Chains A and B, each alone.
Chain A
């Protein structure tokens, strides 16, 4: 059975801290791994990773995929209160299969 596990389930940090969010997976027919950010409404796309070892970066966010060990990490440096959200990991296999997310709270 396909599975996507995200950890931690929730995280509270202070502004300026660096956080690492984890996503491990077991899926058949893996094609890509995606990260989404969900604030109080719809998920918004952050990254799509298809190859191991190639870091994707967007400002203070970065992500990398390890297809051998079946996991990905999402790093956020110098966190801001606007980073508070649920971060969703999803695997592109036959369709998108989502994890339950990590709830990040950034305290001023």
Chain B
């Protein structure tokens, strides 16, 4: 089915472990984004990508790594998870730059770091 999917939907991990959150979209949108959502902060941009092999930092990139070897996939890796990275993570995709603000969100991944 067309759309944007994330996996896993729920993840519990320990401090110091590496975790990768997956995002896949079938719309062929050029732009993809990773956000985290925390109480009191709303949605904050972690990283975004304008196209395959092009990525850039958002508002809160520290502790995260992204890659985009294929247009449809945009994985987010926490290299050494910390408790402060406990959050709900949303992946989103959007059209060309003029309309990339109209973003479509995946269902989210709830990550707990113990």
Contacts and interface: CB of A to CB of B under 8 A. Distances in A.
A49 to B, nearest CB: 11
A31 B42 contact: no
Interface of A: 31-32, 34, 41-45, 48, 88, 90, 92, 95-101
A interface SS class: strand
Interface string B86-106: 000010000000001111111
Interface of B: 33, 35, 40-45, 48, 58-59, 90, 100-108
B44 A43 contact: no
Given A88-B43, A96-B45, A41 B102 contact: no
A65 to B, nearest CB: 13
Interface-central residue, A34, A95, A97, by most chain B CB under 10 Å: A95
A45 B94 CA distance: 11
B42 A95 contact: no
Given A42-B107, A98-B43, A98-B44, 18 more contacts: A41-B108, A42-B90, A42-B106, A42-B108, A43-B43, A44-B105, A45-B102, A45-B103, A45-B104, A90-B101, A95-B45, A95-B48, A96-B101, A97-B45, A98-B35, A99-B42, A100-B40, A101-B42
B76 to A, nearest CB: 16
B81 to A, nearest CB: 23
